[in-house]
Amino acid sequence: MKYQALLDEIYSEVLPMLGNGRVADYIPALSHIDPTKFGIAIETIEGERFEVGDSQEQFSIQSISKVFNLALCIRLIGDQVWERVGIEPSGNPFNSLVQLEYEKGIPRNPFINAGALAVTDLLLDHLDQPNGDMLKFVEKLQCSNVKFNSVVVQSEKDHGFSNAALVNFMKAYGNINHEIDEVLDTYYHQCSIEMSCAELARSFLFLANAGVVPASGERILNVSAAKRVNAIMLTCGFYDQAGAFAYQVGLPGKSGVGGGIVAVVPGELSIAVWSPELNEQGNSILGIKVLELFTTRTGKSIF
């Protein structure tokens, strides 16, 4: 029970911060979420689990899916992925379209939307049933209950002009091989995956365990690839706030506009938080605070 008391303590301490952020409203399907939802879950590579709050309730993982997307692509084609997407932080307050233009259609990294769309296009070269195969991949990570939310998929499609602009723009530069609609459909399905904190924590454990799922012993990525996915999460996982997250929290992680954040302590555990109220950079306010307190009190920053 080593982390239970700490989680309980942090949960109580952070709870009063509710009310200071905004739930994502760029698509109707996300805007109706209860802003007071709040859960935390830890799972260690030895299989211990610690949870508090709404840790069993599923929510839209949104951009957290970009890690599954990248991991699956590296599993399939290895370092070839870097021919189509960069590996540097975007550092651009104006989002990625400007950089796409300067850099001739090559997205800066796989965790901005343009980059995830390019990786999705790569996946389509190698997967017969990209949506089904993605669910199977997450199942391998021991999360059998994962599903797409078709309402979210449709809502993304109805309002996805910005993503459509990105894919069209990359295709104009020759960096998208498949049909625009096919790439977007696959990408929106990934974004619509619903998981709980408990499931997210478990699903990221292979990244804390040098590429192997602890429960099954199945190797997902080789040691080097797993560490490198962590490195990219640290440098690129939080949009314009990547530097601040590394500074405050000091763990590799990834956030989504659904209010989820998941982070990895290499060699030990993964931790997931869910709270839908976002700061201006699109990251969960309570989520970041929980992780900051967690590393400060445990000393488990990687630095």
From 107, 211, 250, 260, residue interacting with a second copy (rule: CB under 8 A): 250
CB 205 within 8 A of CB 43: yes
Compute the least distance from the CB of residue 38 to a second copy, in Å.
Answer: 26
Regarding 298 and contact with a second copy (CB under 8 A), the answer is no
Q: Does residue 265 have an active-site annotation?
A: no
Regarding 86 and contact with a second copy (CB under 8 A), the answer is yes
Residue 255 CA to residue 257 CA, distance in Å, equals: 7
Compute the least distance from the CB of residue 85 to a second copy, in Å.
Answer: 11
Three-state SS at 110? coil
Regarding 179 and contact with a second copy (CB under 8 A), the answer is no
| Residues 6 or more apart in contact with residue 124 via CB below 8 angstroms | 130, 177, 178, 182, 183, 186
Shortest CA distance to 139 belongs to which of 58, 218, 257, 43? Answer: 218
Compute the least distance from the CB of residue 223 to a second copy, in Å.
Answer: 8
From 2, 224, 280, 297, residue interacting with a second copy (rule: CB under 8 A): 224
Q: Which stretch binds a second copy (CB under 8 A): 34-42, 102-110, 140-148, 211-219?
A: 102-110
From 66, 108, 189, 289, residue interacting with a second copy (rule: CB under 8 A): 108
Q: Does residue 188 have an active-site annotation?
A: no
Residue 31 CA to residue 60 CA, distance in Å, equals: 11
Residue 284 CA to residue 36 CA, distance in Å, equals: 12
CA distance between the termini of the chain:
25
Q: Which stretch binds a second copy (CB under 8 A): 4-12, 43-51, 90-98, 197-205?
A: 90-98
Using alpha carbons only, give the angle 177, 161, 244 rounded to the nearest 5 degrees. 90
Regarding 194 and contact with a second copy (CB under 8 A), the answer is no
> Following CA atoms 283, 286, 292, 297 in sequence, which dihedral angle do they give, to the nearest 10 degrees?
-160
Task: State the residues that interact with a second copy by CB under 8 A.
Answer: 86-95, 97-103, 108-109, 161-162, 164-166, 168-169, 171-172, 180, 223-224, 227-228, 230-232, 234-236, 240-244, 246-247, 250, 252, 266, 296, 299, 301-303
Catalytic machinery residues:
63, 66, 187, 239, 257
